[in-house]
Amino acid sequence: MVDSDPKELIRTLTEESPLKAERIHAGRNSRVFRVDCDYGQSLLAKFYIQPTADGRSRLKQEWSALLFMTESGIKNIPRPIGFDETLQGAVYSFIPGSPVSEISKQDIFEVIKFLAKLKKISNLPQAVKLPPAAEACFSPATLVENIRQRLNKLRALPANDEPYLRMHSFLEGQFCSEFEKCISNAKHNFPGESWKEVLPQKFKTLSPSDFGFHNALRTDNGLAFVDFEYFGWDDPVKMASDFLLHPAMNLNMLQMQTFFSAMAGIFGDDGHFMLRFRTYLPLFRLKWCIIMLNEFINQHIKRREFAEGEVQRTGLRARQLEKAENFLNKDKDILTALNLRN
């Protein structure tokens, strides 16, 4: 467990004198504090849970992302100031703002503008040094295998109480049936060697990965975007799909249409963008269902407790399962809104 002393982190990494620290956010993988310093300066101190099982450092991923974006001229993001790998902590500029509770048409345009900037700076020579986004998807086979691995972890859990029995029943029934249908459709659309063919670099983009209004702040100068622990190279179809599917989002039909029309235009040089979107969206929907069930795995619920404190595990797992069950038709609603249903 990291030593989450935000004032000490500020003293270590800056020349500021911290006066007061206030915890402002409990993410799944981090603890975030606003630290008020002498002379009216406020900074943001962030502590990360230890690196992931695959060795990826959330601290380094976010730091390198914010450093690159800042140096490339993007301003509506936290500015990196310093980090301490031993403490798994970093200091960033503090952005005063409020959560985005009501989504406007202008908000959608600001999201589109930001993603278009990311595509533009993806062409800079130094961009190639950045890593893939967390769980980047560069082929149909990669996406299906990622979901299968997540599914197998849940299937391996014991069915020793009511929430676990219900979870296994959901997986073996509704989920696996949908999964097989989606795989069959994907293999029909990407037959033979195209099933494993990696997306060419020219069609990849830099992506925040976990992106949406849940990671945005409304400021006096428009929207600011935060939380880039998963940032890196990815398929823009995954970026678009996750924005539309994310459980924290609640877009209406017009907002979905506006966003997707712009994305299709930004990445219009990719002749297979639309085919991949129609093929991948149902699979990403299933991946989100699996992600909602992460709390059935002790490792994941401990991450939540690191960030939020003690939780009532049985009740939380029952709620997450209900969300997953209700999510199975999400992709159909989106495809209908976008007039892409067969």
How many structural domains comprise the chain?
Answer: 2
Considering the domain boundaries, does residue 24 fall inside one?
Answer: yes
Q: Smallest Cα–Cα separation from 154: which of 142, 165, 143? A: 165
Residue 157 lies in a domain: yes
Residues 83 and 202 grouped into a single domain: no
Domain containing 15 equals: 6-93
Q: Which of 333, 24, 283, 273 is nearest to 143 (CA)?
A: 283
Please report which residue ranges of 48-104 form alpha helices under DSSP H: 58-71
CATH number at 209 reads 3.90.1200.10
Q: Is residue 204 part of a domain?
A: yes
CATH number for 78: 3.30.200.20
pLDDT attached to residue 243: 96
Q: Looking at 69, 93, 117, which one is the last position of a domain? A: 93
Q: Where are the alpha helices (DSSP H) in the chain?
A: 6-13, 58-71, 105-121, 140-155, 162-170, 176-189, 236-245, 253-266, 273-292, 298-308, 313-326, 330-337
* Unique residue bearing structure tokens 């678009």: 240
Which residues are CB-neighbours of 272 under 8 A, at least 6 positions away? 203
- Tens digits of per-residue pLDDT, 83-135? 999 999 999 999 999 999 999 999 999 999 999 999 999 999 999 999 999 99
pLDDT of residue 331: 86
pLDDT of residue 249: 86
Amino acid sitting at position 289: C
The pLDDT assigned to 307 comes to: 47
The answer to whether residues 16 and 160 belong to one domain is: no
The reply to whether 98 falls in a domain is no
End-of-domain residue from the set 64, 93, 122? 93
Query: pLDDT by residue for the chain (342 residues), tens digit each?
Result: 445 899 999 999 999 999 999 998 756 678 999 999 998 899 999 999 766 666 788 999 999 999 999 999 999 999 999 999 999 999 999 999 999 999 999 999 999 999 999 999 999 999 999 999 999 999 999 999 999 999 999 999 988 888 899 999 999 999 999 999 999 999 999 999 999 999 999 999 999 998 999 999 999 999 999 999 999 999 999 999 999 999 888 899 999 999 999 999 999 999 999 999 999 999 999 999 999 999 898 765 555 554 444 456 788 889 999 999 999 888 888 998 898 876
Q: Which residue has the tokens 């990671």?
A: 215
| Residues in contact with 13: Cβ distance below 8 Å, sequence separation at least 6, in sequence order | 81, 82, 83, 84, 89, 90, 91
Same domain, 42 and 173: no
Query: Do 122 and 246 fall within a single domain?
Result: yes
Q: In terms of domains, do 193 and 285 share one?
A: yes
Query: Is 273 part of any domain?
Result: yes
114 and 86 both lie in a single domain: no
Tell whether 53 and 197 lie within a shared domain. Answer: no
Shared domain check, 257 and 111: yes
Residues 135 and 277 in one domain: yes
Please tell me the predicted confidence (pLDDT) of residue 54.
Answer: 67
Give the distance, in angstroms, between the CA of residue 159 and the centroid of all CA atoms in the same chain: 29
**Does residue 342 fall inside a structural domain?**
no
Output the pLDDT for position 340. 86
What are the angstrom distances between the C-alpha of 182 and each of 152, 235, 253, 283, 324? 17, 19, 24, 6, 17
195 and 129, same structural domain?
Answer: yes
Same domain, yes or no: 74 and 43: yes
In a domain, 199, yes or no: yes
Question: Of 93, 121, 146, which residue sits at a domain end?
Answer: 93
Strand 205-207 and strand 216-219: the pairing is unpaired
pTM over 0.85: yes
Half-sphere exposure of 177 (CA within 13 A, CB side): 6
Q: Does residue 248 fall inside a structural domain?
A: yes
Within this chain, do residues 16 and 111 fall inside the same structural domain, yes or no?
no
